[in-house]
Structure 1
Amino acid sequence: MHTLKFRLELMRDGAVINPRTGQPPRLVIRVAAYAALNVLNKYLRLLEASDIYWLAIALCPWNKLQWFVDRNYPAIRIQQVRRLLEDRFGEYTARYAPPPAPESTHTAEGSSNPSSLSTRPRRLWMQTLPSTSDRNSTAMATAPPPTALSIYLATPLVCEAEINKHGGLLQFWENEAKAGSVLGRLALDILTAPSSSVDVERAFSGGRMSVNYRQHRTSLATFRAKMAVGSWFGTPLLPDVAEVLEMVEGKGDTESGPPDLD
């Protein structure tokens, strides 16, 4: 969408040349580009209101938080995205992470051996870790241990072509989830979340029955609750059953029903 916005801005400003005529766009095309930009900016603002779009961008290994830096997002916005990721990762860790297994003395000694570490396979996004040789030993002892998320964000970007060799973005994270990675499970849930709209025009199976408010007496709140339960429940968009109950009971945000034109 950002690429589309950039190209529309060029057309609006007459900064592109028609290769066949060697002339800038005609006035009608520039006006159309201006109108399209207004609509696009509207939806970009709506996208910014939802956290899940920010998280989806950061969970692309070729983007991470660098995507926001390259597009001159303010530092406060980037920190906000980082905090959102950390909060969501913390929720998933508490819910899905296996309990830590007790470490024996033999295991601890083996894990401290540099040669044993070097022979272990590392995940694609963990292959190159920042050097820690210049860190103070006392600070290292008191600092919290790194998490899979902090390592993922600290490591260099992974080329999109490299991800495609592993079957694409979803397959990449599915492999991570199958290996027991909580971050992989979080990424899959975020990247495969269904559409965030349950308006009438988004109704699919059974939609004609639900859309006909006058004939079937289906209120707008009931319609939204029905679509939310069927499409969203269990995803990051609607993880808690309490929110579903609020929608069914009419305690959440409500909109007026369709006007009575009789």
Structure 2
Amino acid sequence: MLYPVKPNRFDELPALQPPQADELGDELDRYLSMDVEATKDVLGWWYEKRKNFPTLYRMALDYLTIPATSTDVERVFSRGRFLLPYVRNRLSADSTRALICLGQWSLMGLIHDEDVLAVAKLPEVEDPEQEAEDIEMPDGYDDILGVLSDM
């Protein structure tokens, strides 16, 4: 009795490799040159075309399966939700951005807690134009810029 031969998983490894830049370009060019097809099932359409557009198919699945929500954007992300509760909703966009970056950079080890505490203890600057003249920063205070540009 002969049993059907199952395909070897390792035979398909080349198909699992990331696409080369020219392959993706060819795939995108082929997709863009197609006539527009009306469909009510977009995911089904991409599923049918998955052999012709394997990379775009994976990208389409990632994009099209993002859950829709009517929740305020700042509450979707946990850091933003804790940072912007109803009682702190008057922070400027710059302050919010700075606080979120500060929290993320702190978690990544790019800045140290003792540096944040030292800056927090500095006296308030009443006149923003005098800020650069009144505070002398130590050497290396902007080392984070080099780290961020390398990321």
Q: What is the TM-score normalised by the length of structure 2?
A: 0.32
RCO higher in structure (CA 8 A, sep ≥6): 1
TM normalised by structure 1 equals: 0.21
* Greater radius of gyration (CA): 2
